[in-house]
Amino acid sequence: MSSYRKNNGKTSSRIFRKLGRLNDLLPQFDNNEEKLLEWARSEAKKDTLSHQQDTAPVLIPFSSDKKIKKNEVLLFNVGYLFLQSICSNLHFDNICRNIKNHHKFEYDIHRILCDLVYARVLYPSSKRSSFSFAHSLLEQPKYKLQDIYRSLSILAEESDYIQAEVYRNSNFLHKRNTKVLYYDCTNYYFEIEQEDELKKYGKSKEHRPNPIVGMGLFMDGDGFPLAFDIFPGNQNEQKSLKPLEHKVIQDFDCSEFIYCSDSGLASQNNKLFNDIGGRSYVITQSLKKLKKEDRDIALNTKQYRKVGSSTFIDLKDLDENDPEVYESIYYKEVPIESKKISETLIVTYSPKYKAYQEKIRQGQIDRAKNMISKNGKIKKNRKNPNDPSRFTKRTSITANGEVAEEEIYEIDQEAIDKEAMYDGFYAVSTDMEGDVAEIIAINKRRWQIEECFRIMKTDFDARPIYLQREDRIKAHFLICFLSLLIYRILEYKLEKKYTSEQIIDTLRKMNVTKLKEGLGYIPSYTRTDLTDLLHELFGFETDREIIKRSTMRNIIKYTKEHHI
């Protein structure tokens, strides 16, 4: 209900919005009247916030002769308020309160953790720059820069506890799908040259000559990050799985799941570890690395079946120009002999994937031709195994039976044909029995964990790393991990209608300008369909022509409350 004044001067009230009939709404809340009333109060609060926006004209005195105050900050970001609402519903405040009970410090670790997360999403930079960015938020930090560095040690020490608590709390926002857990590793480089126990020279994913640190990440079946850990840059990635998986099983109460990873993490020990205790595995398998007899069976075009059909076909008989055939996936199951484990190789063939690989390779062949100079010499030595130079071969020029000093390069058609044999084929090894379509679908979603790493490295600028102490480095990755989880929750609320670039760029540009004399704020950003959807989903609005200071205080308070 809202009150208003009639033409005769008397006050009255009217219905602002109808939520629905009690009998109609109760079934939506499992006939729990308490839950229904809690939801109704929450909706009423949202409408109250919206209604409190003053619609009356506001006179703002400006003077062309009067200068603005020196060093006064007038522009503030409000995009962080959406992130703050998610942090509140993940109960960051309770987590930090419990941490503070175990340690002796006076600074506000909750505010520091939240501000570092906001900065990682909206203004990824060093911790010093993050502290400066925090001053552009509506709520000014009351802590000092040195408090940030002190808090990093505490956050690193409590990293496992924070991950486990955030996982539990996130279930209230989105029921976590732990039926399938994806695992992968990447590494991050430092802008230094000196090694230590953690920062080691190793095989960099970005081919940089710097010390690196490895990161292992578990992701659930819906693409939400679950848990992480870091390890020395020169350590074999396969050894990173068991310690982190033990933690997931014990601290997260996830004991039965399907483990999915790429072939680089497919050691015999890792397979055996996930072949017990109600767990199974689906792991990609390189056809090139199979035993010859198994590879010959896999590439034999006979005894394939279309997914969903039991009829055997020969791939040679397919009309790949037929749109239905082009979009279909075909498979065969090949039992793999092993002394310790019984597994099946599922080989798939996709005409569409074949066309994609052919297109990529043709572009590489064209670049390989350009690499060869007019006199038949390679323009530049290359060592990357995926470089187009793999399609070239060196030929020595001989004269009178003797090898001359000069050598020329030409396209190696034999190498091209050998690689083309695998076009369209893909394989996974598994100990599962049952629906092949489900196994294929599980592996197909593995791209989401690669996207997690891309977001952290590209959108959140997680590297290079400038911190030196091991505890602070771990805290840095904890902040990146939490930022990724919060982003994924936001992406889920937006029903994945927008790309990460669109979402993050919009939040970064959502600024308001402070008016003088405490009159409030005016938006300094472009209102779009995305900003409208954000306001609708989170229950507050910052896109009015003028936002009164009291209204903004109410919005800030609202984003700090739990609204699950």
Of 544, 550, 553, 524, nearest in space to 56 by CA? 544
Let me know if residue 394 belongs to a domain: yes
Q: Supply the DSSP string of 35-82, one letter for each residue.
A: HHHHHHHHHHHHHHHHHTS--S-------SSSPPPTT---EEE-THHH
**Is 413 part of any domain?**
yes
Contacts 24+ apart (CB under 8 A), 372-378: 372/409, 372/410, 372/411, 375/408, 376/408, 376/409, 376/410, 377/407, 377/408, 377/409, 378/409
| End position of a domain, from candidates 420, 454, 478 | 420
143-157: average pLDDT: 95
Question: For residue 489, what pLDDT band results from cuts at 50, 70 and 90?
Answer: very high
Residue 383: give the domain boundaries: 353-420
Does 396 reside within a domain? yes
Helix (H) or strand (E) holding 418: helix 413-420
Residue 393 has pLDDT above 80, yes or no: yes
Percent of the chain's residues with pLDDT above 70:
87
CA-to-CA separations, 43 to 13, 39, 52, 475, 552, in angstroms, rounded: 19, 6, 14, 37, 18
Lowest average pLDDT, out of 261-270, 389-398, 437-446, 466-475, goes to 389-398
Q: What is the pLDDT of residue 323?
A: 96
CB-based contacts of 32, cutoff 8 Å, min separation 6: 26
pLDDT tens for each residue of 525-553: 999 999 999 999 999 999 999 999 999 99
In a domain, 141, yes or no: yes
As a whole number, mean pLDDT of residues 393-422 equals 78
**Residue 33, in any domain of the structure:** no
> Distances from the Cα of 533 to the Cαs of 266, 506, 513, 552, in angstroms?
43, 12, 22, 19
Residue 189 lies in a domain: no
Rounded Cα–Cα distance for residues 402 and 25 (Å): 93
What is the pTM (predicted TM-score) of this model? 0.82
Cis peptide before 464 (omega within 30 of 0): yes
Write out pLDDT tens, residues 445-470: 999 998 998 888 888 876 666 667 88
Whole-number CA gyration radius for the chain: 29
**pLDDT tens per residue, range 190-225:** 766 667 767 677 777 667 777 888 899 999 999 999
pLDDT at position 68 over 90 = no
Residue 321 located in a structural domain = no
pLDDT band at residue 371 under the 50/70/90 scheme: confident
Mean of pLDDT over the chain: 87
Alpha helices in 78-214 (DSSP H): 80-89, 92-102, 109-122, 127-134, 145-157, 159-173
Classified as helix, coil or strand, 460 is coil
Residues contacting 222, CB < 8 A, separation 6+: 174, 176, 177, 492
Angle at which helix 109-122 crosses helix 127-134, to 10 degrees, equals: 100
For range 493-497, the mean pLDDT: 93
**417-428: average pLDDT:** 94
Residue 365 lies in a domain: yes
Whole-angstrom Cα distance, residue 351 to residue 322? 10
pLDDT tens readout for residues 268-288: 999 999 999 899 999 999 999
- Residue 170 token pair: 């996130």
- Point out the domain boundary residue: 160, 189, 218: 160
Taking the alpha carbons at both ends of the chain, their separation in whole angstroms is: 24
Structural domain count of the chain: 2
| Mean pLDDT, range 151-161, rounded to an integer | 95
Q: What is the pLDDT of residue 95?
A: 97
Residue 14 pLDDT exceeds 60: no
Domain-terminating residue out of 160, 176, 206: 160
* 252 residue type, one letter: F
